[in-house]
Structure 1
Amino acid sequence: MGFGFLVGFVIAVFVIKKGKVRNPLLGLFIGLLGAFLALYIHWAIWIDLVINAGKSYGSNRIGVTVSNIQFLQVFSLIFQPDVVFKYIIQVNEYGTWGIRGATVSGAFLWLIWAIELVIVVAISGFVTYLDAKKPFSESTNSWYDEIILPAFGFIENKQQIIADILTGNSDNLELLSKDVDSKKDSHSIFTLYKSKSGTSYLSIENKTSKLDNKDNITFDTDQVVEYIAVNAQLSKILLDK
C-alpha cells in the first residue's frame, strides 16, 4: 500500500501537476501505467538481488541472505522483459522465502503477487485520478491554491449546508463551532480552493469519531460535497473563521 501511494504521489506531483493534466480518466490511465512501470523496475531490481544472492544467516524459521545490487545488470534486465519474465517464472517455481519453514511457491505465490499487483496499481491510479479532478483555472493556466481549514463542528444537516452554499447564505456557516478536538471529536473538514481568477470552490468532509476493538479513536469519512462553487463572501467568512 505504501509503495502504491508513493508511486501515485510521485506521478501526481511530476506528471499530473507539472503537466497540468485536467482529465481525470487520463490521470487514472497515467497512474495505472506508471504503477505497472514501477512494478516492472522493482522486479528487475529484485531479480538482480536474487541472482547475486550470497551467504545466508539465521535458522530455518527466520534468516537473511546477503546480496549486492549490480546496476549495469539491472539496466540490462530492464531492457530485456523476456528475460525478466523467465526469471519470474523460475522464482515462482522454487520460491525464495517461506512461512514456518515451508517455502512459498507455485499457485499460492502467484496469488500473493496478483494481490500485490492489484493493490499497487489501484492505489496509484486512484491517487492520480483524484489529483486530476482538482480545480484548475484556465484563465490563469494554473491549479487552484488548496487551503485545508482548521476543523469545524460536525455537520448534522448536510443538505441544508449545501443549499446555503448554493444560495450564498452564510448564517449556518457562521454558527459552525471551532471549539472541537479533531483528534477525539466528530468534526468536519473544509478544503477551500482559491484562484486569482476570482472563483472559489469548496469540498467538505464529515469525520465521525468511533472506538476500534483496541479502544483507539478512529474516524469514518463521509463526503458532504466536493468542488462546489462558493462566492467571495462565503470564502472570506471561512478564511476569517
Structure 2
Amino acid sequence: MPPGQRSELLHHLARRIRDNVESIAQLETRNVGKPISDARWEADAGAKVFEYYAGAIGHLCGQTTPGGEGRIRFHAAPANGRHRRHHAGGISLSSSPAGRSPQRSPLVTRLCSSQRRSPPLTALLLGQLAQEAGLPDGVLQVVPGAGSEAGNALATHPLVRKIGFTGSTEIGAKIMKLAANDFKRVSLKLGGKSPNIVFPDANWQRAPDESPMSVFANTGQDCCARSRMFVEQSIFDDFVNPNSSPPPRRSSLGRPDPR
C-alpha cells in the first residue's frame, strides 16, 4: 500500500475513534471499573496515537552516506535500527485496552491482537472501527481466547516475527521462552514492585497525599503502579509523622460513572 494511502487510512480510523469516544469510554468503564473521566481520556489518546503515526509515515526514510568519489550509499533502514515487522502479535491485558491496543497497531503490516477468553469489548470495537475506516481484511485481527490457546499460537507461529505482551511477569517469561524457538523479537511490559523515591530537596510534604493514587489508580490494575516507597533517611522521621503534612485526600469508591 502506498504511504499516502496508508496515512489516509490511519487518519480515517482516528476520526472514527473520535466520533465514538463516548461509546468507547462507556464500554471501558463497564469492563474495567475505572472512572469515566479516565476512560474518556484514554479513548481520545487512542485517536491521537493513530494521528501521530499517520503523520510519521512520510518521515520514515533511510539515510545516505559518502561512498567514495561521485558515489553515495543509501541505507533503507532507519538509523535507529527499527524495522517494520510484516506480521506481529499483540497479547493484551484487560485493564486498559482502549489505551494500549492502538499503540501496537499503526506501523506493522499485519497485527493479530489476542485478548483473554472474556475479551474487553473496547478491543472488539476497535477492530470494528478499523473495518469501517477501510483497513484491508487481515491487517488488524482481534482474537478472543485463553492465553494458553490464542497466545501460545501467536508466540509459536512461524510467520509472526514480533510479539508484544502486557501482563504478569510469570506469563511474560513463558512467552519469551516460546518466542525464542525461532528468534522472534519480543517486547514485554510486565507487572512489578516499582517504588516512589522521596528526596529531601523535593516537595516531599505532598508525597503522602499524592502517593496512594500511584498504586490505587485504575482500580489498582496498573503494570507500572508504585506500590512501595523509598524515603531518604534524613527526612524519614518527619515523613512518617502524621503532623508533618496535610491529611491525605480521600478516594471515592463506588460507581465509576456517577450518572
TM-score range, shorter chain: under 0.3
More RCO (CA 8 Å, sep 6+): 1
Task: Report which of the two has the higher share of strand.
Answer: 1
Give the TM-score taking structure 2 as reference length.
0.22
Give the TM-score taking structure 1 as reference length.
0.23
